[in-house]
């Protein structure tokens, strides 16, 4: 699974960081999901291999502008490039109204249908509902913020099957096209016996799961979401000292709060993002290094502080590697 950060700043863009957006896909797949779409997300995408025509699902965590003001422009550009395939959008219901406003007031004419799913319905009183895409099962979880905010959990689907070769050999089933059919789950007749492919598949590996959280001041809301997950992306807008100065009304987390939660859940990988614009790259406080240092005090697992254009690869052995797609100029 690959995560490509398109924006890692909170509230307002800086010269180095755009506002929130994160692309997720299975490595090697052209199809992808976009989680949040701050203003300028389509501009960031121009510098990546991602194509608006191949965007499968667009998810919004909450209605604040730094998470959704890039939506109308991205929808317009997808139409200008001739997209025909329907686009699935999972978002707070207010986002549907916002798109309606744009269509009525600014002549936004789309060349494709929008399959809009209100996230409120996925976590409603009728019990949680899962969205199944070709590559992921997606669950939503409510968080705690100034406005309703959500986390999305992506669990991979269609795990590759693996034949139990020892069993096939023990039963004298010869290698060749029959093995290939059994791998696909076919039921075959062989020497008067009925063979069911499912009887010759090894137990699949654990599916990888990652959780992408929106703005949230109570990481414990995510206890259920991160159970069995390998990686959590969570905001760390502040360090504790500045969080105290700003006060709790902002509805954000500090690095210590998130790190303690991740440690308690024994999460293998924690990725922090959504940094207040006051944290600079240099070594003079407040700086990004302050956030990292604070998180490491509480969390001994694999920690990464996201930058725009960071590409994170979570392999099947649940190892994380990071490279950068930042354009050179």
Segment near a second copy (CB under 8 A); pick from 102-110, 134-142, 222-230, 232-240 = 102-110
Residue 46 interacting with a second copy (CB under 8 A): yes
Q: Distance between CA atoms of 146 and 218, rounded to whole angstroms?
A: 12
Strand partners, 140: 152
**Least CB distance to a second copy at residue 238 (A):** 15
Residue appearing with tokens 């614009």? 277
In this chain, which of 108, 110, 242, 320 binds a second copy, going by CB under 8 A? 108
Instruction: Using the minimum distance from each CB to a second copy, give the nearer residue, 54 or 133.
Output: 54
Q: Among candidates 272, 220, 329, 260, which has minimal Cα distance to 22?
A: 272
**Least CB distance to a second copy at residue 70 (A):** 7
Asked if 180 and 161 touch (Cβ cutoff 8 Å), the reply is no
Instruction: Using the minimum distance from each CB to a second copy, give the nearer residue, 42 or 265.
Output: 42
Segment near a second copy (CB under 8 A); pick from 8-16, 28-36, 120-128, 203-211 = 8-16
**Least CB distance to a second copy at residue 276 (A):** 10
Q: Among candidates 80, 81, 43, 42, which has minimal Cα distance to 58?
A: 42
Catalytic status, residue 139: no
Asked if 45 and 308 touch (Cβ cutoff 8 Å), the reply is no
How buried is residue 203: exposed, middle or buried, by Cβ count under 10 Å (0-12/13-18/19+)?
exposed
Segment near a second copy (CB under 8 A); pick from 9-17, 82-90, 252-260, 289-297 = 9-17
Q: Give the footprint of a second copy on residues 71-100 (CB under 8 A).
A: 72-73, 76-77, 80-81, 94-95, 97-98
In this chain, which of 2, 48, 54, 63 binds a second copy, going by CB under 8 A? 63
For 251: left if phi > 0, alpha if psi spans -120 to 50, otherwise beta; the answer is left
Instruction: Using the minimum distance from each CB to a second copy, give the nearer residue, 40 or 197.
Output: 40
**Least CB distance to a second copy at residue 165 (A):** 50
215 is in an annotated binding site: yes
**Least CB distance to a second copy at residue 55 (A):** 15
Residue ranges that bind a second copy, judged by CB under 8 A: 11-15, 18-19, 38-40, 42-43, 46-47, 63-66, 68-70, 72-73, 76-77, 80-81, 94-95, 97-98, 101-102, 105-108, 146-147, 329
Residues at the binding site are 62, 64, 66-67, 145, 215, 274
């Amino acid at each position: 699974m690959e995560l490509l950060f398109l924006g890692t700043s909170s509230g307002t863009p800086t010269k180095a960081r755009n506002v929130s957006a994160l692309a997720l896909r299975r490595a090697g797949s052209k199809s992808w999901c976009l989680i949040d779409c701050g203003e300028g997300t389509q501009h960031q995408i121009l510098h990546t291999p991602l194509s608006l025509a191949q965007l499968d699902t667009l998810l919004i965590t909450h209605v604040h502008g730094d998470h959704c003001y890039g939506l109308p422009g991205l929808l317009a550009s997808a139409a200008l490039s001739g997209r025909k395939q329907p686009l699935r959008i999972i978002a707070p219901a207010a986002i549907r109204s916002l798109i309606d406003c744009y269509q009525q007031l600014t002549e936004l004419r789309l060349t494709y249908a929008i399959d809009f799913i209100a996230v409120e319905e996925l976590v409603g009183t009728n019990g949680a509902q899962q969205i199944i895409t070709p590559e992921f099962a997606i669950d939503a979880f409510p968080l705690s913020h100034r406005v309703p905010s959500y986390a999305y959990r992506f669990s991979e689907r269609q795990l590759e099957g693996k034949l139990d070769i020892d069993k096939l050999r023990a039963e004298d089933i010869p290698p060749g096209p029959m093995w290939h059919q059994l791998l696909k789950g076919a039921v075959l007749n062989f020497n008067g016996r009925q063979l069911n492919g499912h009887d010759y598949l090894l137990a699949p590996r654990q599916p990888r799961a990652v959780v992408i959280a929106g703005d949230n001041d109570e990481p414990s809301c995510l206890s259920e979401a991160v159970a069995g997950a390998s990686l959590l992306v969570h905001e760390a807008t502040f360090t504790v000292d500045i969080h105290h100065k700003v006060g709790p009304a902002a509805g954000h987390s500090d690095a210590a709060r998130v790190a303690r939660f991740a440690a308690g859940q024994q999460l293998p990988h924690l990725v922090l993002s959504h940094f207040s614009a006051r944290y600079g790259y240099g070594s003079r406080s407040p700086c990004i290094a302050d956030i990292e240092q604070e998180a490491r005090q509480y969390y001994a697992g694999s920690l990464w502080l996201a930058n725009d254009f960071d590409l994170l690869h979570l392999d099947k052995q649940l190892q994380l590697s990071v490279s950068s797609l930042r354009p050179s100029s």
